[in-house]
Every structure is written in structure tokens, then in C-alpha cells.
Structure 1
Amino acid sequence: MANRLADETSPYLQQHAGNPVDWWPWSEAAFEEARSRGVPVLLSVGYASCHWCHVMAHESFEDEATAEYLNSHFVSVKVDREERPDVDSVYMEAVQAATGQGGWPMTVFLTPAAEPFYFGTYFPPAPRHGMPSFRQVLEGVATAWSDRREEVADVAGRIVRDLAARGIRYEQPQPPGPEDLGTALLELSRDFDAERGGFGGAPKFPPSMALEFLLRHHARTGSDGALEMAQATCEAMARGGIYDQLGGGFARYSVDAGWVVPHFEKMLYDNALLCRVYAHTWRCTGSDMARRVALETAEFMVRELGTSEGGFASALDADSDDGHGRHSEGAYYVWTPAQLTEVLGEQDGQWAAGYYGVTDEGTFEEGASVLQLRDGAQLSDASRVASVRERLLRAREERPRPARDDKVVAAWNGLAVAALAETGAYFDRPDLVEAASAAARLLADLHMRPDGRLVRTSRDGTAGPSAGVLEDYADVAEGLLSLYSVTGETGWLDSAGVLLETVLGHFTDADGTLYDTADDAEALIRRPQDPTDSSTPSGWTAAAHALLSYAAYTGSSRHREAAERALGIVRALAPRAPRFIGWGLAAAEAALDGPREVAVVGPHTDPGTGTLHRTALLATAPGAVVAMAEPGSPAALDVPLLRDRPLLDGNPTAYVCRNFTCDAPTADPEVLERSLRN
């Protein structure tokens, strides 16, 4: 018999619809139920592709005895962190403050007033490794609630007051200067793993936002050190097991420091961000590796994550059936030497084992190996590599596939739009640009309301129940601005402006601080606010970047000033935590460089117009904005950057400006390229 989650749109919530636990979705009705019964609330937060969420569900939430105890003593609330990042953020902050760590599944016990008083993540069904069993936790919390309720209320009140006092205010409203960014680079270099690429030790996550900063810093200053760190990290990830050597695309993170064994779930946001990083690396260096990985990752997103409505699904699970009735992490992706030989034959099987680092001992579990390119592996025998890869991929597709979380998240689709539009433009792949346009149309038609408000998620063409948060507005605006730069279709610029108007009106304080939720959003125990990057750019710095770009297109001092005020937090955090403010550092690089404003005017049918446009798009000037239209057309008249830009001697012409100063117009692509490089 299904519980209340059966009617929810979230795949994660629907995974629990058949539990014997009497789950409620996050709602006022759930807390009213707790108040009327006089019981605490169990808040369980996770997401559909979370391995340990599945484990805890199987061990505890599917257990009849555990469910009976839960139903008698608690109101149980299940939340998809990807659908409600605001709820997740607020209570994760409490978990981390109380325990020093966090993660998913997140398990929090609340009063009926939604105040937290006891915290944890995964709890096993029996005591293990110093952890109490989940049943012991439930009984302890129920006893404390029954016998020491005043003490519980006092603890909850103190926690809420502490969280409320954590609001961010800073005294430096100015964006970072060159010295601040130089200090950030120095701090990053101290944390750089020169042997294996990336930053810090295990587990190792793709540092997408920091890599974008390093590429831009090199472009602005010529720093060889910045480029070397970026290239070494990209090379190591592309060779490692974190990258799917057969199907393209990146797993969530590496459990080791050498990128060998991944946590196998594949997230849209990681692949969108990394696709763009590798495309920008190619733009900066001409690296064949970067080109290949950018294109393979783009193709993976379209092939594996594309939805019938034109958007992109959130994730692929880490787990799948291993062919023997067991649900195992990585089963879809790992190989033994015998499996290679079975598919490829003796000769090619042995060659593939050496090429991909598949050994008898294995690099993963039970003698299996994650495919990686060892240091000696080269793509010199391209035809053999292509043949082996094609046959292995075809054989792998016969295996039981990982489940797909097919909800469409606005922010992550915005990141995908930017990545696919730029990758398609760089490599003359109009199919990728069209995929970006299709996703943008879905966002505009289904997620975006006439009043400029966004819905966070949709599924199967139906909008979800949750309001968009700051990252949704910022990342969708970023994607639309990138799509405009590639296509010249002014509707995308206009839609980005509408979204940014909502950011200024409902997410921004007068002093430049930003909040993750709108001023009229559902009130939680505190209004979430976090300027630091996690697995995606923070909404705060993503908004700053989009505001900066929009100001460059439109000449709006209001948007420029808002961007600079928002970037003040980067100046405060960059010296001590550059790894966690990478997108803010990238935005600051753009602000320092101008950003450059490039207007290309000429007939669409003239090859010269296309050559100038492509030259501008390939420029490495940090955050450069590019607009293109026929002179005097509505598209030119509607965009301030394009107005009053005549042709030069009747030829397609490019104009480059920054900081209220313009270079001489040119019809020569080489002159344009030099202007944008220097």
C-alpha cells in the first residue's frame, strides 16, 4: 500500500512511496500533524542517486518493525535535497555545526515547530563501527522527548538562535583587485597535488569552478603556474576512472586521491561544468585531449540525460544489477580481464587490459577494474582504440543499466545550456547548439512564469511544486546569456534580464548581500545564505557573474554595481578559502578584465560575419561578451552593445570595447584576435 509520497513528482520521494513508513512530504500539514499528536518529526533528506540513501532505505525504512516504531512515535518527513535545496541547506548547516561533518542521507529530529535538536546522517540497522543502530537512536530520541521535553526544547532553541546569528555581512563591498586574485592563486598552489592533479587528498572532487578561475587568470596575466595546474588536473581526470572511458562523462568524485575509483553516480551539473571547462581548456591550449573530452561529455549529456521534453535529467545512479541479482555500485562500469577477452577475443582483450589498466587483482571490488588510461596509454593507434571502445560499449549496453533520476532541475539545465551552446559553437556542432536551445525553450516555457519567477523542477512536462532558489535564477540566466552569444537571438538576452530583475528585487539586500531564497519564499528556521561553492557554483557568485555579463550587453550601471557589491564577499574569502569560491574568483577575473564587449555586425549570409563571430567566441579574454546582428535590424536596435555600429567600408565589422573605451573597428579577424588577446 502506497503512502503520501505516491503523488509527488520527485523520483526520490516516489522511491519511498511503497515503504511501510507513513511518510509525509515537507509541508505545513506534516508539522500540524506533529503538533496535534504531540510527537517530534523525523526529517530524512536524500536524493535519488545517493548510494547510502538506498542502503538505509533497504535496511530500515523497508523494515516493518522499524516502520511501526516510527509511525507510533514520530511524524516522518522525506525531502529530496535536489528539489528543496533550501530545506537541505538550513538543516545541513545545523548537522555540520553539531557533528563537524555532513552528508546524505541526512537524518534530523525536529520539534513540531521545525526546530532541530538531534542530528546524524546514515545510521545502520545494528550497532557498527561505534555508531548506534537506527532503532537505538529512535528509542533514545523518543525517550528524551517523553521524559525531558523542556531540555529538548532548550537545546532546539539554542540551535535556532545560533543559526539565526550566522547571517553574512561584510565590510568590503568592493570586488577583489589584482593582489587579492594573486593571493588566491598562491593559496591554491599550496593545496595543489602536483603528482596527481587536483587539490587536497581523498576523496577528490572535480574542482570545476577553481579550474575556470585558473584558465581566466592565465588569460589575463599570462601566469604559467595557473595554466599548468589547470592542464595537469584536466589531464589526470581525463585519464582516470572518474571519467567514463567508454561512454564519456564524469562520475561524481574519486574515493582515492589518484582519480582511479569513482563514486559512480553521474550528475548533470558535474558534466555540464566539466564539459565547459574542457572546452575552455581547448580554447586556451588547442589540446586534442581537451577537445575529445569536451565533445564526449557533451554527447553523453545529450544521449544519456536528454529528456523527451528537451531538458536534461538530473543523474544516473551509482548502483545497478550486477547480472546475478545483486544491486551493486559500479556494476555497469567495471571489467575483469576475462570479460574483456570474452567481448574482444584473446589478442584485443590482452591489449585492452593493458591500455585500460585492467588487472587480475583489480582496482575495484571482487577483482574488477575501473577503466582508466595509464600514463603510457596513447591514442596513437586511433583505429584500434575506436574499434575496441565501440565493441566494449556495445557489450556494456547489454548490461542492466543504472536507474535515471529524470526530473529536470532549472539550475543544472542552465549550466548544461551554457556548456552545450559554447561547445557546439567551438567545434562546429550545430546539433549541440540545438540541444542547448531545446533545453532553454523548456526552461522558458515550463519553468519560467510570466511574472519572472522560476519553478525549480519539472518532470515529464509537468512543473514541480518548489519555487526556484537563487542558483536557479543565476544559472539559467548564465545559460541564456551564453546561448545568446552563440545564436544572436535576442529573446534569450531578454529572458535573462527578466530573471536578473527578480534577483535584484527579491534575493538581494541593499548592501549587496544575497540570499538563497526569495524575500517572499516559505519561511524556514533561518533564511539560507551561502556564498561558497559546493558541487555547483554558489547562487551568490553565479548571480554576480550573470549580472556582470548582462551589464556588459546593456550598459546598465545598476546591474554592474550590483555585481560589484556581490563580489565583495569574494574579496573577503579568497585569501583563506579559494577552493570554495572559485566561481566568484572567475567572475572577479572578468570584472578586472572589463569584461571585454564584442559587437559583430554584418549580414548573416556573409561568411565574413561568421568568421568574426567565431573569432570573438574563441577569445580567451575572461568573461568576454559577444553580440552579433545585422546592422539596423531589430536584433541590433534592441541590444545597446550593437546600436550605432555601422559596417566598415561595407564589410562585416567587429567592435571591441571595455571600461568605456573602444578599439578602432576592424573587418580583419587577425586584428580582432590580437585585440582580444592583449
Structure 2
Amino acid sequence: MPLPPENLLAREASPYLRQHADNPVHWRPWSRQALAEAEATGKPVLVSIGYAACHWCHVMAHESFENAEVADVMNRLFVNIKVDREERPDIDQIYMAALAAMGEQGGWPLTMFLTPQGKPFWGGTYFPREPRYGRPGFIQVLEAVDKAWRDKAESLTQSADALIAHVDAQLSANAGKTQLGSGSLIALAEGIGGMMDGERGGLRGAPKFPNAPFIHTLWLSWLASGNHQHRDAVLISLEAMLSGGIYDHIGGGLSRYSTDAEWLVPHFEKMLYDNAQLLRLCNWAYAATGKKLFRTRIEETIDWLLREMRTDDGAFAASLDADSDGEEGLFYTWTRMEVAATVDPADFDRFFSLASPPGWEGNPIIFQTVDQRERSLQEPERVRTLKSALLSARQPRARPGRDDKILADWNGLAIVALAECGRSLDRPDWIEAAQAAFAHILAARAQDRLPHSILGPARLYPALSSDYAAMANAAIALFEATLEQDYVAAAGALLEQLDAWYRDEEGTGYYLTASDSMDVPLRVRGDVDDAIPSATAQIIEAQVRYASLTGDAALAEQAYLIAEHAAGRIARQAYGQAGIVNACAMAIEPMKLVVIDTPEAPRLVPVANRNPDPRRVDILLAVGTEANRPILPGNMLPPVDRPGAYLCTGQVCLPPVTDPGELNDLLRRR
């Protein structure tokens, strides 16, 4: 049955797609039916890919997609498909790789033109309604593409065939395995270290992104080799981010990136994944340095997460928009008069600054100088009172929109962060919040299969391999925090589903999409990092952790094989390898800490909790526990009749430690 000539987005679960439901454009969601319509009519496809918190996506929507003249041209010349990249990262990866292969700069909104078979032949990102910024107007683009298609459809189809074959080879093909070695991590860390801004942190230049996978690489390099330059690069980056305008000093939480080299002017959207990764990095930094800044920002960011991002079901929404009332950053910025009407200006100036740098057209942005940051840490009660007043004054403002969809993989990252921070800082309420989010997502399974996205009663099946990996890692983190065996069983079940639906024919890797996903032009592997580690990286980590936790030697061998082949594939990549390199380092030398302690007055467990290590799986047991005793390398069972701590790396365990001070020294040894 042909699709009706109207906008079909109103019934979609994605808030981003629903934002476009009133456009005069005859939008279709991505589907086999939409591509069939293109084949039946012979029209090329215009696919527009974005996400709810994307500022330039909103700009293009207001300028072009809400415009009747533009919509008339689009409807007449193309089959128009709207994609939420957060719902369909598999589709986004394919066409973003195609754009890169054309030599174009990537970004969102992504605007791609496809053959009726879904193969890309030309594209770009944002196009203005009228010619400006050195770009042609959107109607000009549409008419030029239509003319090219009418005049040269055959040659464009041949070019599209070659381009999709190139993307297939880049994103889907397997490769021979590469021998793993610790040198890969160190070499990548050296390369990243050479690109870091030694004064302001992050990569040199602008814009500046948090780039958590890179920072993770530097931290792992310090842990493995004792390279203090790499540790210092992480600390400088975190301190600069947490003082700059990219951090919300009033409400907590980090924006997506800074438009300048000073971390001062952000794009104000807040993403769940950025803040989940920030929490883990700050937790490691606080454990290593004891600096109050990191603990304070953990507490503020989790307060924000629980206050503004938690849904009624206990899981976490995807993002907050950058815009309020059509103006970017309006909710977060302050004039001097607004500050003075709320708090004593002298008090404010003691702890904060306002900046309106060149090129920024909005109200001033709050940030902290180094001196203000240090004063705020020395006088926390005064700062807390000040922030409370400013937060209350900010609440009635027009709020940025929240993308309420619950993404399983992003929630997995948040659950891990809450569980780890809850352990380290002795906050059982954070662990309980993590448990509630995990329970909600698992309850949404159908026939034991996860959804990728949840919005109220709506579910988007099937999930992606990243969803299973992230939720398996979340289950393991919750076991470490609670010692509840149900989480071990849940992790095992998730990994079984991963094998059943996503493993490749050779048994050497995994695809991002399930074997019964019928609407994708390619099954990509998910090897490339975005702002978060790639699906493959998360899979390797989950398998290594679960094998260490359970003593499953067969799974450990499988994880190592997957890592070897992933290392072979990323040798061909120009970017986005850090996640897999980090995960391969875990596969080479998995670490396990088993602690037996007295539950009434534990002396060793608090030491383990205060010293988080991303390479390690922790198993904390009460003296006398016989059930589910962990297996040490060599199939040895630790004695449980007395306190002791056993730290094992690979197949070697150090002698047991019984003194808390000695355990602390052992866990902090570099």
C-alpha cells in the first residue's frame, strides 16, 4: 500500500521526529516502505539526520522545513525521510561515513541525497534557507540535485554503488587478527598527549570537546606505565572544563562542547552520555588526588542528573536542548542586573565571573577563575547558599526542551557512573538510583530482547549491540556495588543475547545491528568511537569483566579473539580507535580484586571502594561466605574463614593482604 502524501511523524516515539510532525514537508520515518516509495516513483531520497538537542538542526528546521515554499520543492522532487541519530546510530554511521568519503566535513544536521535504493550520491550538513556563510540556499541545492539526477541518474547510481561499497569495506568488513600488546595503548597515549593543550587541557584549538575516550586512554597509560605527563593532561583538562563556561556552575552538568579554546562559550545542550563519562573521570581523579573540586563536581552533577534528567520510571532522559524560546543558552546565562536582583553582587564576584567574549551574542556566561574556584572550595557553605538562590531564580525561566526517550546504551553508561561513584563516596542513594534505572530498562524486554529506545509505552526494537554491552557492564558495576548475584545472572543473559543476534558468521566480532534488522542498507560493525566508546569496545570490556568475575575461561578466550580481530580492523581507521585500544588493554591483562572482610566492621572493603580502577573487577565478600565463591587464576578458591585481599593480574595473584594500609599502597602503586 503506498504511503499517503502527508507528514507521517506524529505517531513516532522519538521526540525529535515529533518536533517535525507539523512541518509541511511530507516526512517519512526511516523504513522499508519509504524506500519502496522512492523505487516506485523513481524519485531520489532526501534523508535529514539530527537529534533533539542539536542547535543547528533547529535552525535548519525553522528556516526551511517549516517554510511552505521549501516544503513544496522537497515534496515535489524527493521522498523525504527524517532520522533521529540517537534512535538510529546505525543509519547515521553509514551516511556520515559516506559524507566523509566525499571529502566533506561531518556534523548535524546531516543532509544526504540517496538513490531510490538508499545509496548515497551527494550530501552536506546545514544548508541555510538563503545563500550565506559561503553556502548556497537550500532551494538552490534541491533544484541542482534534482537536475543532476534527471540528467545523470545512471552515472550517479554508479557513483553511489562505488561509494556504498567503500563504506561497506570501511564499516562492515572483517580483517585478520593483530597480535595484542601493551605498546598499542602507550603509543596511542603518546599520540594523544602530543595533541593536548598543556595550558587549557583538551585537544589544542577550537572547538573543544570533552572527548572521554581520549582522556580514558591517557588515564590508562598512567595506570599502566606511571607516565605522569599523561595523568597531568587528564587533570588539567578536567580542572579547566569544570571551571569554564562549558560547566553549569548553578545547576550542575556539562554542556556538549566549547566553541572556543578556553572552555568558555559552550553549545549549551547537555547530553546524558557526556555527563556519565564525566562522573567516572572525576571519580578516578578524586581517588588519585583527593582534590575537593572533583568530589564537588561529582555531587553537583549527580544532583542535576537526579533532579532534571530522571524520568518518572526511574531511568534517564537522553538530553536537554541548547535553546529556550528559540535562543541558545537563554536558560543558563545571566545579565549583571539579573545577578544583582538575586544575590549580593560582591558575594557573586568573590566566587564567579561573567563573560561576553567576542562573537557571543547572548547574555553573559558564568565561569570561574582559578582563584574563584579555590575560594569556592574553601567556603562551600557560602557557595551553596549563593547557588541555591540563583538556581531558584532560574527555575521560572523558559526551560530547554528535554528529549525524554530512554536509550538503553546511554543509560548503561549512567548506571555504571552512579554505581561507581556511589561506592567510592559512600552514597547508597546513588546506587539505589542506578538500580532503579537498570530495573526499568530490563522490564521493557520483549521475548528477552532489549529495546534500544523507550518513551512511555513505546519501544523501539531490536536493540543495538551497544545496548547489550552497556547494560552488561551496568549489571557488573551493580554487582560490585551490591554483591547481589542477580546482577551476575543478568549480565550473563545479556551477553548470551548478544551472541545470539549480533555475532558475525566467523565468530570473530559483532555487528551493531541484529541479524533480523531488515531496514538497513549495511550491517556495520560499530568499531568507531563517537563521543562514547564504540559498541565493539564496550562488548570487549563487558566480556572481559564478566569472564574475570565468573572465572569463565572460554569467554576470556573469546574476548581475547574478538579483541585481536578488532585491533586488526582499527589499523585501517583514520580516527575513533581509542575505545577499542582501551578495551584491548583490559583483554591483555584483566585485573581482579577479591576482598574477604567482616561485614560488622569492614577494614579492607572501604579501601577497595576508595581506590577505583577502570581495569579492575572487584568481588567483595563477607567472611564465612561459601556460596558463589570467586575463582582465582589456576582454579583456586580463596579462603573465606578470615579477612584478606587478593589482587590478580592475568594469571598471577599477589600474596594476600590483610592490613588496610598495605592494601591502600598496593592499589595506588604505579
Name the structure 2 match of 1:478: 473
Partner of 1:66: 70
Alignment of 1:174-185 (within 5 A): 174-177=179-182, 179-185=183-189
1:615 to 603, 607, 618: 607
Structure 2 counterpart of 1:668: 659
CA drift at 1:450: 4.0
Cα contact 1:489–1:635 (8 A) shared by 2? no
Contact 1:544–1:562, Cα closer than 8 Å, also in 2: no
Post-superposition, which runs of at least 4 consecutive aligned residues in structure 1 deviate over 6 A? 573-579
Task: Find the aligned partners of 2:18 and 2:56 in 1 and give their Cα distance.
Answer: 17
8 A Cα contact 1:655 1:662, kept in partner: yes
1:216-227 matched pairs, under 5 angstroms: 216-227=220-231
Q: Is contact 1:337-1:350 (8 Å) kept? A: no
Q: What residue is the counterpart of 1:501 in the other structure?
A: 496
| 1:643-664 CA-partner distances (Å, limit 9, x unpaired) | 944334xx44433333333334
- Identify the residue that residue 327 of structure 2 maps to in structure 1: 328
Q: Decide whether aligned partners of structure 1 residues 170 and 30 sit closer, same or farther in structure 2, where only a CA change above 3 A counts.
A: closer
> Which whole-Å CA distance do the structure 1 matches of 2:137 and 2:285 have between them?
48
- Report the secondary structure of 2:28's partner residue: strand
CA distance in 1, matches of 2:485, 2:105: 46
Q: Could you report, residue by residue, the CA deviation over 1:224-279 in whole angstroms, capped at 9, with x for unpaired residues? A: 11211111111111111111111111000000111000110000000001011101
Summarize deviations over 1:548-582 as a string: whole Å, max 9, x none. Answer: 11111122223222322333367569999898333
Give yes or no for the alignment of 1:204 onto 2:208.
Answer: yes
Higher alpha-carbon deviation: 101-110 or 152-161:
152-161
Name the residue aligned to 1:192. 196
Amino acid aligned to 1:173: T
In structure 2, the residue matched to 1:138 is: 142
Once the two structures are TM-superposed, the CA of residue 589 in structure 1 deviates from its matched residue by 3.9
Q: 1:47 to 1:665 in 2, by over 3 A?
A: same
Q: Give aligned pairs, total.
A: 658
Distance in 2, matches of 1:276 and 1:411, equals: 16
Aligned partner of 2:267 in structure 1 is: 263
- Equivalent position SS for 2:370: coil
Q: Which structure 1 residue ranges, 5 or more long, are not aligned? A: 322-326
Q: Distance in 2 between matches of 1:625 and 1:49?
A: 35
For the Cα contact (< 8 Å) 1:341–1:350, is it kept in 2? no
- CA offsets 1:75-96 (integer angstroms, 9 cap, x no match): 1111111001111111111111
Distance 2:575 2:484 in 1: 35
SS in 2 for 1:519: coil
- Superposition pairs of residues 9-408 of structure 1, within 5 angstroms: 9-166=13-170, 167-177=172-182, 179-321=183-325, 327-344=326-343, 348-353=344-349, 355-359=351-355, 365-366=360-361, 368-377=363-372, 378=374, 379=376, 380-408=378-406
2:45/2:81 contact within 8 Å kept: yes
Check whether the contact 1:315–1:405 (CA below 8 A) recurs between aligned residues: yes
Q: What CA deviation, in whole Å up to 9, does each residue of 1:577-602 have, x standing for no partner?
A: 8983333343344345x332222345
Equivalent in 558, 561, 565 of residue 565 of structure 1: 561
The separation in 2 between residues aligned to 1:356 and 1:576, in whole angstroms, is 47
Q: In the alignment, which residue of structure 2 is the partner of 1:324?
A: none
Q: How does 1:514-529 map to 2 (within 5 A)?
A: 514-522=510-518, 524-529=520-525
- Quote the offset at 1:481 in angstroms: 1.0
- Residue matched to 2:620: 628
Identity score, percent? 38
Equivalent in the alignment of 1:658: 649
Code of the aligned partner of 1:341: A
Aligned residue for 2:112, secondary structure, equals strand
Q: Which ranges in structure 2 are unaligned for 5 or more consecutive residues?
A: none
Cα deviation per residue 1:184-221 (whole Å; 9 max; x = unaligned)?
A: 22212210101111113211100212222322322232
Letter in 2 for 1:458: I
Could you tell me how far apart the structure 1 residues matched to 2:381 and 2:145 are? Answer: 63
What SS is found at the alignment partner of 1:78? strand
| 1:647 partner letter | V
Q: Contact 1:541/1:584 (CA < 8 Å) preserved in 2?
A: yes
Partner of 1:443: 441
2:416 aligns with 418
Secondary structure, counterpart of 2:87 in structure 1 = coil
Q: TM-score, normalised by structure 1?
A: 0.91
Which secondary structure state, in structure 1, belongs to the residue aligned with residue 514 of structure 2? coil
Distance 1:474 1:306 in 2: 22
CA contact (8 A) 1:541 1:587 kept: yes
Whether the 8 Å CA contact 1:490–1:635 is kept in 2: the answer is no
RMSD over aligned Cα, in angstroms?
2.5
Q: Decide whether aligned partners of structure 1 residues 565 and 289 sit closer, same or farther in structure 2, where only a CA change above 3 A counts.
A: same
SS where residue 431 of structure 1 aligns? helix
| Aligned-partner Cα distance in 1 for 2:121–2:259 | 31
Further displaced range: 253-262 or 293-302: 293-302
| CA 658–151 in structure 1, closer or farther in 2 if over 3 Å, else same | closer
Query: Who is 1:551 aligned against?
Result: 547
> Is the Cα–Cα contact under 8 Å of residues 540 and 587 in structure 2 kept in the other structure?
no
Q: What secondary structure sits across from 1:5 in the alignment?
A: coil
Q: Paired residue for 2:586?
A: 590
Instruction: Call closer, same or farther: CA 1:81–1:588 in 2, change over 3 Å.
Output: same
**Does the CA-based 8 Å contact 2:284-2:613 persist in structure 1?**
no
User: Hey, what's the Cα distance between the residues in 2 that align with 1:577 and 1:160?
Assistant: 17
CA distance in 2, matches of 1:407, 1:567: 32
Q: Give the Å deviation of 1:141.
A: 2.1
User: Could you say which residue in structure 2 is the equivalent of 1:533?
Assistant: 529
Task: Say whether residues 1:428 and 2:426 are aligned partners.
Answer: yes
Instruction: Give the aligned residue type for 1:285.
Output: T
1:488 matched to 2:480? no
> Hey, what does 2:640 align to over in structure 1?
647
Cα deviation, 1:24-43, whole Å, max 9, x if unaligned, reads: 11111112222222212111
CA distance in structure 2 between the aligned counterparts of 1:164 and 1:575, rounded to whole angstroms: 16
Q: Which moved more, 1:263-272 or 1:147-156?
A: 147-156
Contact kept in structure 2, 1:547 and 1:559, CA below 8 Å? yes
Q: Deviations over 1:467-498 (max 9, x none)?
A: 22122121111111111111111111211122
TM-score (norm 2): 0.92
Check conservation: 1:587, 1:623, Cα contact below 8 A. Answer: no
Give a deviation string over 1:8-55, Cα, whole Å, max 9, x none: 110011111111111111111112222222212111111111111111
CA deviation after TM superposition for structure 1 residue 158, in Å: 2.1
